Amino acid sequence: MEISAKQVKELREMTGAGMMDCKKALLESEGDTEKAVAVLRKQGLSKAAKKADRSANEGIIYSYIHPGSKLGVLVEVNCETDFVARTEDFQTFSKDIAMQIAAASPLVVERGQLDPALVEKEREIYKTQALEEGKPEKVVEKIVDGRLEKYYQEVVLLDQPFIKDQDLFVKDLLTNAIGKMGENIKIKRFARFRLGE
């Protein structure tokens, strides 16, 4: 099958992946752009998994002040090399993360950082609510698990839907960035400041 340069260019603009990766994905998906995007996402996941153990000791502390100067975010984003830390892609990714934190107000970067007592307290609240709603005992745990997932999407940065594209989660954005930049990237920590809080 013949893949045109226009198709490759369009896919590259959509995904930010390399030209050859886009061409291979289009060949694999027989020219179907949507399938090619899925192929590139899967490749990004496998690349990210391979890079997860590599140390990320470089990076930047990105600052974002929301218009009006009443809300600000500092976020530390790490990568493997200073070279990548200075690239436009890395700066853009860091800005997107800072804006996500400003808009969605997460408590922690990943689930493991949540206080287990807090999670248990939420679990108890959801269980009580489900029982008071008259739900059968056998489905209560599934309901509690579902509500807990929604809670994680509210308070855990990596589990939140991305503000610029609700079809993506922040962890997908991170995985895509790792695949695109070819280095392990970690969102280390953040601080969110609102005037008067």
Q: Give the C-alpha separation, 180 to 82, whole Å.
A: 16
Q: Which two tokens stand for residue 24?
A: 């291979």
Is this structure's pTM higher than 0.75?
Answer: no
Q: Would you state the torsion angle of the CA atoms of residues 31, 34, 40, 41, taken in this order, to the nearest 10 degrees?
A: -170
Q: What is the pLDDT of residue 196?
A: 87
The share of the chain scoring above pLDDT 70, in percent, equals 89
Point out which residues pair with 75 in neighbouring strands.
Answer: 62, 190
In the structure, what pLDDT confidence band is assigned to residue 34 with cuts at 50, 70 and 90?
A: confident
In the structure, what pLDDT confidence band is assigned to residue 55 with cuts at 50, 70 and 90?
A: low
Answer yes or no: is pLDDT of 109 > 80.
Answer: yes
Domain assignments of the chain as residue spans, ordered by start: 5-51, 58-109+156-194, 115-154
In the structure, what pLDDT confidence band is assigned to residue 132 with cuts at 50, 70 and 90?
A: confident
Determine the CATH number of domain 115-154. Answer: 1.10.286.20
Q: What is the pLDDT of residue 87?
A: 94
Query: What average pLDDT does the structure give for the chain?
Result: 86
* Contact status, residue 75 vs residue 61, Cβ threshold 8 Å: yes
Q: Class assignment of domain 58-109+156-194?
A: alpha beta
38 or 73: which leads in pLDDT? 73
Domain 5-51 indexed as CATH 1.10.8.10: yes
